[in-house]
Chains A and B, each alone.
Chain A
Amino acid sequence: MPEPLTTEPPALDGPVPAELVAIAERHGQVVAAGDHAATLADFRPDRTGQLLGSARLPGRLVSSRLLRLRAEPDGLVAAFIRYTAADGSQTVLRSRWIKLDQGWRVTQVRNVPDTPPVIAAAGPRDDGLDRPHWEGLRAGEVRVQRCAPCGHWIWAPQPLCPRCHSFDLTWPAVDPAGTIYSWTRTWQPFSPELSGHLPFVVVLAELPAAGGRRLLGVLRDGDGADVRVGQAVRGFIDLAPSPDAWPVLRWSLS
């Protein structure tokens, strides 16, 4: 169903310049109308490719509605625009606007709420070396490779223990509690699979229960998170999106 032509005005949080209401409403309308040229004209010119690839909208949009404008640090203003597709599904994008010499332009855009990217390549590598880890996730456990005779923790998995050369390797479940060893917030749409989830934070977490081995994972609720090395994180397992896909380890600030 299209939005009614007359709607209540958007909520305004903080000192939002009045002219932005009409600008953001018009932006929503040109996006919903599929007017590519007009959409691009609203983007900050040095990052149109990144902006186009960051957000994901369904095809065949029928309407848009500016829900909210929020004043943010450094003179930016966030616009929350809800798009309705022909099938009735609704998607909210948050665009951040910056005042340039040529006027207000979109400098960031993302889908809200934030969700981690789902990558089709998730799952065991072709040679199966890491298969027990993935099967552990299916069983609700985080399993890390360990040498049975000498107790050495091994990550990434190997065919034999690099320390004692035993092939007798085990896969104990470990408590997925650790600290952030490093992190990065990725903005660039390197793959279509990332679109709709950018930016997202990847955490490298050090696990005391696995001998200090470090495991990667996307940080849940990373949008706007003030991430620092040393923060405590806890692992969660995101269920597989389909029966033939694999679950994935995520981190959450604890």
Chain B
Amino acid sequence: MSRSLRGAAAVAGIGSTPYYKRGTSPHSALRLILEAILAACADAGLDAHDVDGFVSYANDLNEGLAVGAALGVREVRWSTMVWGGGGGGVAAAVNAAAAAVACGQAENVIVYRGITEADDGRQSYGKGHFPPLLSAHGVLTPVQVCALRTQRMLEVDGVPWSALEALVQASYYHAQRNPDAVGYGRPLDHETYAGSRWVSEPLRLFDCSRENDGAAAVLVTSAERARELRSVPAFVLSGVQGAGPGWSESAENNASYTSAGFHPAMVARLWAEAGLKPGEVDVVQVYENFSGPAVASLIDLGLCPPGAEAGSFMTVPNLVAPDGALPVNTAGGNIAEGFVHGIGLVLEAVRQIRGTSASQVPGADVSLLLGGPVAPLVSATVFGSAVTV
């Protein structure tokens, strides 16, 4: 009996609302989620009443059962919330949906995330992660924790500052080609980046993701069904989630402190199940709460060399589509496209397999999604085109 996820499930539909400036959504988060789900189902050519599973992450305020009731689905067979770690759950949510489909627990599972400032409040992504052992010392927000880890990565590991800027510049470069991106029409030059205000050293304003109102959803179904539906399937080749030994909520006592949290056994499982090596990845969507942790993710995955050598790999030409060695965040990512807890990265990972990205990597057959660096939980999904399964 096979215990592999490989090729059993696929994303067959994607949908999203616009990225609204935070606090300006005309509708509730629930309404935005419903809009996104209807769009994902329409994209797939599936009647939304046939959705039978819901997965979200990061304590989305709107439970799958409530969403299902609003949609009037015939039956809810699968309802999962990924615990822990904010955006670290994004790929884990896709994996949970794929697992449900792969073992026949459900047929059409929606993965969704929706946020509005009116419903969720400011900085909802950090809620519950700042107990007094952090907050008493003025450590109130994720950027400060990520700054502590990034500072050591720069100062001790020797990763050069330029690696952070290259990731940010690549994100803005791609956003200029994506009319749906919040950063569209706002190119970023070196002087603006380097002259921007400190948020928490070593992270400046442009090292930080945005905070938007919005929602997005993807439909995960069986590989067989996905082939019958309207859109090109993005098959799930492998998926991992978790936290390694000595990781997770520990008041900054994590082992491998400058890691993003993708420990070696987890990374090995990801590549082994996919039957791939890091060099075979065509394009990456890497969750960037902040630039430093995204660089740490790429190092953890073996996609970027550690230490000082990271600087020779992390250059804008290497990171941009169509010709870079490893294009990253081709829609602009959380930094330049918009931020709804990273759900937008899933949609872009799928677009690359479909060949419909505004910054398409020609012939992309392997598309990697990385969720939640430095968060208590991290996760990853490898998507592949039909030729990979």
| Chain A residues engaging chain B, CB cutoff 8 angstroms | 46-47, 50, 116-117, 119, 121-125, 130, 133-134, 155-156, 181-188, 190-191, 193-194, 197, 199-200, 202, 204, 213-218, 228-229, 246, 248-249
Query: Are B201 and A185 neighbours in the complex by a CB distance under 8 Å?
Result: yes
Taking the closest CB of chain B, its distance from the CB of A101, in whole angstroms, is 13
Residues of B within 8 A of A182 (CB): 148-149, 151-152, 155, 252, 257
- What secondary structure prevails in chain A residues at the interface with B? mixed
- Interface centre among A116, A193, A216, by most chain B C-beta atoms within 10 angstroms, is A216
Of B63-71, B129-137, B166-174, B234-242, the one touching chain A: B129-137
Taking the closest CB of chain A, its distance from the CB of B302, in whole angstroms, is 24
Query: Are A183 and B148 neighbours in the complex by a CB distance under 8 Å?
Result: yes
Residues of B within 8 A of A249 (CB): 137
Residues of B within 8 A of A194 (CB): 138, 140
Query: Are A121 and B155 neighbours in the complex by a CB distance under 8 Å?
Result: no
With CB as the reference atom, state the residue of chain B lying closest to A186. Answer: B200
Query: Are B136 and A123 neighbours in the complex by a CB distance under 8 Å?
Result: yes
Mask of B115-146 contacts with A, CB within 8 angstroms, 1/0? 00000000000000001111111111101100
30 contacts between A and B (CB under 8 A): A50-B197, A119-B138, A123-B132, A125-B132, A155-B253, A156-B133, A156-B253, A182-B148, A182-B152, A182-B252, A184-B200, A184-B202, A185-B198, A186-B138, A186-B199, A187-B197, A187-B198, A187-B201, A190-B140, A202-B137, A204-B148, A204-B252, A213-B253, A214-B251, A216-B133, A216-B137, A217-B137, A218-B138, A229-B151, A229-B156
A202/B139 contact (C-beta < 8 A), A185-B201, A214-B253 known: yes
On chain B, the number of residues with a Cβ less than 8 Å from chain A's Cβ atoms is 33
Q: Which of B133, B147, B199, B257 contacts A181 (CB 8 A)?
A: B257
Residues of A within 8 A of B252 (CB): 182, 204, 214, 216
Query: Are B148 and A184 neighbours in the complex by a CB distance under 8 Å?
Result: yes
Rounded to whole angstroms, the CA-CA distance of A246 and B198 in the bound complex is: 30
Rounded to whole angstroms, the CA-CA distance of A10 and B120 in the bound complex is: 49
Query: Are B250 and A188 neighbours in the complex by a CB distance under 8 Å?
Result: no
Residues of A within 8 A of B251 (CB): 155-156, 214-216
Query: Are A184 and B138 neighbours in the complex by a CB distance under 8 Å?
Result: no
Taking the closest CB of chain B, its distance from the CB of A223, in whole angstroms, is 13
Query: Are A216 and B139 neighbours in the complex by a CB distance under 8 Å?
Result: yes
Taking the closest CB of chain A, its distance from the CB of B291, in whole angstroms, is 14
Rounded to whole angstroms, the CA-CA distance of A1 and B217 in the bound complex is: 63
A184/B135 contact (C-beta < 8 A), A155-B251, A216-B252, A228-B155 known: no
Interface status of B50 (Cβ within 8 A of chain A): no
Interface status of B35 (Cβ within 8 A of chain A): no
With CB as the reference atom, state the residue of chain B lying closest to A121. Answer: B135
Query: Are B200 and A187 neighbours in the complex by a CB distance under 8 Å?
Result: yes
Rounded to whole angstroms, the CA-CA distance of A204 and B156 in the bound complex is: 14
Residues of A within 8 A of B132 (CB): 121-125, 130, 134
Residues of A within 8 A of B250 (CB): 155-156
Rounded to whole angstroms, the CA-CA distance of A228 and B143 in the bound complex is: 19
Taking the closest CB of chain A, its distance from the CB of B171, in whole angstroms, is 19
Rounded to whole angstroms, the CA-CA distance of A130 and B249 in the bound complex is: 14
Rounded to whole angstroms, the CA-CA distance of A203 and B152 in the bound complex is: 11
With CB as the reference atom, state the residue of chain B lying closest to A153. Answer: B253
Residues of B within 8 A of A183 (CB): 148, 151
Interface status of B196 (Cβ within 8 A of chain A): yes
Interface contacts beyond A123-B132, A156-B131, A188-B199: sample of 15 additional A-B pairs, CB < 8 Å, sorted by A: A46-B197, A47-B197, A124-B132, A156-B253, A181-B257, A182-B151, A184-B200, A185-B201, A186-B147, A187-B200, A188-B141, A197-B138, A214-B252, A216-B133, A216-B137
Query: Are A186 and B133 neighbours in the complex by a CB distance under 8 Å?
Result: no
Q: Which of B155, B200, B202 contacts A188 (CB 8 A)?
A: B200
Residues of B within 8 A of A191 (CB): 140
Mask of B230-274 contacts with A, CB within 8 angstroms, 1/0? 000000000000000000011111000100000000000000000
Residues of B within 8 A of A50 (CB): 197
Taking the closest CB of chain A, its distance from the CB of B2, in whole angstroms, is 34
Residues of A within 8 A of B257 (CB): 181-182
Rounded to whole angstroms, the CA-CA distance of A214 and B200 in the bound complex is: 20
Query: Are A184 and B140 neighbours in the complex by a CB distance under 8 Å?
Result: no
Query: Are A46 and B196 neighbours in the complex by a CB distance under 8 Å?
Result: yes
Residues of A within 8 A of B152 (CB): 181-182, 229
Rounded to whole angstroms, the CA-CA distance of A190 and B253 in the bound complex is: 24
With CB as the reference atom, state the residue of chain A lying closest to B196. Answer: A46
Residues of B within 8 A of A188 (CB): 141, 143, 198-200
Rounded to whole angstroms, the CA-CA distance of A213 and B132 in the bound complex is: 17
With CB as the reference atom, state the residue of chain B lying closest to A107. Answer: B197
With CB as the reference atom, state the residue of chain B lying closest to A47. Answer: B197
Q: Which of A186, A214, A217 contacts B144 (CB 8 A)?
A: A186
Taking the closest CB of chain B, its distance from the CB of A231, in whole angstroms, is 11
Residues of B within 8 A of A248 (CB): 136-137
Query: Are A202 and B144 neighbours in the complex by a CB distance under 8 Å?
Result: yes
Query: Are A190 and B133 neighbours in the complex by a CB distance under 8 Å?
Result: no
Query: Are B135 and A119 neighbours in the complex by a CB distance under 8 Å?
Result: yes
